[in-house]
A and B are shown apart, each in its own frame.
Chain A
Amino acid sequence: MCLDDQILNTYLDGELEEPFRSQVEEHMSYCSACRDRYKKLKNLKLMVEASVISDSEIETRKANVLRMIENTCFSKKKPSFFKRQLRINLPAFATVAAAFVFVFVGSIVYINRETNQFIPPNVENTIDENNVNLVNSKTVKTIDDYSLEEILDSLDKRGYTVDLKIKGVAPVTFE
């Protein structure tokens, strides 16, 4: 039985494994039809291979492309290590920086608001008798309700040494 084209093509490409390779060679040693067919296939392959683009064309284009790449890629990325590092970290860095600025500025605004005395505090409750202690309603005694003598007596009982100086002050007169 003669060899088919697929086997011959595989043999031609050097991809036919043993023991088939030896069998093909043996067959072709006595079968001129297969030998001729093999020659034709080989010629076709050689003809196709011969139409390859020339080395000189390749070299010209190779130089052109390399020049372009040197101008765009290499010059751009010369300090590649540092740049790469920076590029990877940049979004994270920008986020942290933005967050920091946000918190910093926010806290200043907040603190200012807390301490700014010109801004009146919010009064939520209406003013009525429940949250207003009238000065003359004697429910809670303040220091004004005690006489000087009572205060001194109270301090003396608690063991304080009281040094009292009385200074004469001219009465304030209104014109």
Chain B
Amino acid sequence: MELRSSDEAAFRQVYDQVFPVIMKVAFHVTYNLDVSEDICQDAFIRFFDKNMVFETMDDAKFWLIRVTKNLAINQIKRKARETASIEKLKQVTPTSSYKDGASQLLFQESTESVRKAVAQLSEKYKTVIVLKEYAGLDYKQISKILNISESNVKVRVHRARKELEVLLGREDA
């Protein structure tokens, strides 16, 4: 099934399926909802304007993820020059399905500390963790998007988790 990115019906189909994934990527790289929304919008407008043909839905998805990831990385690099991006985390209100107040508080705390830790990862590790844990991609898909080998992805995921463990352990102490 071929997908033409400027065809409205095909576009809507891709949008419906891929938006949640790229929103997750944009958000967990930038940790700013408004900025993430702008990035997703930018990515989809590029997608539409480029008038490309994709063989499969996955190809379109990978293209969009790659563009979004790059836009998000550029954004945090720009932001890092201006302010400390960690501060922005405080503005993000995590939402959850917990009804109970105490567990919600706990959940919020752990969410916030995980997000802080992810935000502190180096670009190389942050990208694989975001694509693995939030975008739900497998090693092969990540290697395609980042244009690196599968074993390289494997190593990066492992090292990123190691760093996260250290960062989260430091916070607990």
Contacts and interface: CB of A to CB of B under 8 A. Distances in A.
B138 interface: yes
Interface residues of B, number: 45
A15 B165 contact: no
Contact of B155 (A6, A47, A52, A55): A6
A48 B114 contact: yes
B60 interface: no
B157 interface: yes
B23 to A, nearest CB: 5
Nearest to B116: A51
B24 interface: yes
Interface in B1-21: 6-8, 11, 15, 19-20
A144 interface: no
A50 B95 CA distance: 11
Nearest to A64: B37
Contacts of A107: none
Contact of A51 (B7, B15, B41, B111): B111
B158 A6 contact: yes
Contact of B48 (A9, A40, A51, A69): A69
A101 B111 CA distance: 70
A44 interface: yes
Interface of B is mostly: helix
Contacts of B20: 55, 58, 62
A132 interface: no
Q: Which of A51, A52, A55 has the most CB of B within 10 A?
A: A51
Contacts of A84: 6, 51
A124 interface: no
B8 A9 contact: no
Contact of B8 (A5, A54, A55, A74): A74
Interface in A125-162: none
A51 B157 contact: no
Contacts of B162: 5
Nearest to B19: A62
Nearest to A62: B19
A47 B33 contact: no
Nearest to B138: A15
A54 B37 contact: no
A62 B23 contact: yes
A56 B155 CA distance: 33
A49 interface: yes
Contacts of A5: 158, 161-162
Given A13-B138, A61-B23, A49 B41 contact: no
Interface of A: 5-6, 9-10, 13-15, 40-41, 44-45, 47-58, 61-62, 64-66, 68-69, 72-74, 77, 80, 84
The 5 closest A-B pairs by CB, nearest first: A51-B114, A54-B95, A51-B111, A6-B158, A53-B27
